[in-house]
Structure 1
Amino acid sequence: MTRLQSFGVAAAALMLLANAAHATGDKANGRTLVYTCNGCHGIPGTYNAYPQYPVPKIAGQNEQYIISALHEYKSGDRTHPTMMAQAQSLSDQEIEDIAAYLSSIAAK
């Protein structure tokens, strides 16, 4: 096998692995679950009270980023009291559902 063929096989294998690691969230359930998220993340111009900074918009965000961020809030690796409380109330499947829905809608 030539070097170019080996590279092609390796690239194809990596793509298959990446697809296998892709979240398997239920967008319909995610749409229901993000109801509480919209209270902060869905209102244009919303700022955190203290310290004051803009609340990130999460519509259209990368699916894996949302999953990672919510797991980090859940474990305490990211610290924001409101986000930690919200994430701790979610199952792993609910996190995937939320990520699937949010990543599927257009950023505003």
Structure 2
Amino acid sequence: MALREYEERILAAIEHRLTEDDPVLAGRLQSFGECDPGLADGPADGDVRWRAWLVCAVVGSLVLLAMLALILVAPPAEAPSEGLAPDQEQVDRTGEGEDTTVTALDRPSV
């Protein structure tokens, strides 16, 4: 991205002032990145974004596959009242915690 004209003038003034005040630091800043040959040949921003989305898609797919596998492998849940016919229910008639089975025919009519 190119800088505007006034931004280039401001940066040139800062560079000039730095060179006058601290020439050693100015020299170090000028040579910054020259010793790293991979810095200039780095990937473009579009490549990095594309790769990041690819990694997210792969991780998301793996998570979804793991959840699907857990759902398919999990044993089925047991019914809470096994062995009772649909017209039967558990009723405590004794008051002592003892369960007895009552059918629809045994219920008193109202």
Report the TM range for the smaller structure's normalisation. under 0.3
Bigger relative contact order, structure 1 or 2 (CA pairs below 8 A, ≥6 apart): 1
**Which entry has the higher C-alpha Rg, 1 or 2?**
2
Q: Structure 1 or 2: larger helix share?
A: 1
Q: Structure 1 or 2: larger strand share?
A: 2
